[in-house]
Amino acid sequence: MILGAFRRRARSALFMAALAPVLAALAFTAALSPSNTAQAEPDAACAPIFDALTKMLRTPNHQFMSQSSATYALQHGGQLRTGESITTKDASYVKMMDTWQKVPFTPEEMVEQQEEARRNAKSVCHFLHNDPAEGDVQVYETQSATEKGKSDIQIWISKTSGLPLREEIDLDLADAGKSHSSVRFDYDHVDLPPEVKSSAPKPEPGQ
């Protein structure tokens, strides 16, 4: 039973990393903090970031991610790791190993995990600047560090919609080395691939 619970937790973390990389990074670095450290209040400056992530999880979107890491590059001839995820009103799907899979929990359950990460966050957040090149956008940075690793994340948030548009994630973990991930969000073209349309939830009559 313990092994089964561990596998379920690991699978959940894998899907979270695909659906919400910033959320996964914040949750992971919080878990790296020493357990005997007194619980500190979350940084109030992180509120715009978590609010944007909550809204993203509740808004249909299509994410495109690329990741570079020395370990993956050595194993795959210098290639980048790439991935996609699609979230609809009722379900989420991730593309792993060129195959689309339905996520075994709902977007609203992801929101609950986000709220837990928000309570346990050990990050320090800053507003960096407005980015007119990206439109009416504000750029925030969140950083965390422990003896086991550190993260440095920048996130572009639309002032109009309150939704994240882009993320740049740098991790430096003692047991996994350095990695850089770039994530782009599309809220206008959220179309399920043909191979998963047949398994997608059907709308109720009248909706």
Domain borders along the chain are 2-31+44-189
CATH number of the domain located at residue range(s) 2-31+44-189 in this protein: 2.50.20
Collect all residues with Cβ–Cβ distance below 8 Å to 25 and sequence separation of at least 6. 151, 153, 169, 171
- What is the rounded average pLDDT of the residues 161-179? 87
pLDDT tens column, 40-67: 555 688 889 989 989 998 999 999 988 8
Mean pLDDT of the chain: 76
Alpha-carbon distance of 163 to 45, in angstroms, equals: 17
Greater model confidence, 99 or 202: 99
Q: Which of 3-7, 14-18, 102-106, 126-130 has the lowest mean pLDDT?
A: 3-7
pLDDT tens column, 62-112: 999 888 866 655 555 556 778 889 999 888 898 877 888 888 888 888 888
pLDDT tens column, 129-144: 999 887 889 999 988 8
Alpha-carbon distance of 107 to 111, in angstroms, equals: 6
- What is the rounded average pLDDT of the residues 27-35? 48
pLDDT at 3 over 80: no
- What's phi and psi for 62, nearest 5 deg? -125, 120
Using pLDDT thresholds of 50, 70 and 90, give the confidence band for residue 164: very high
- What is the rounded average pLDDT of the residues 126-130? 93
- What is the rounded average pLDDT of the residues 137-163? 90
Cβ atoms of 163 and 182 closer than 8 Å: no
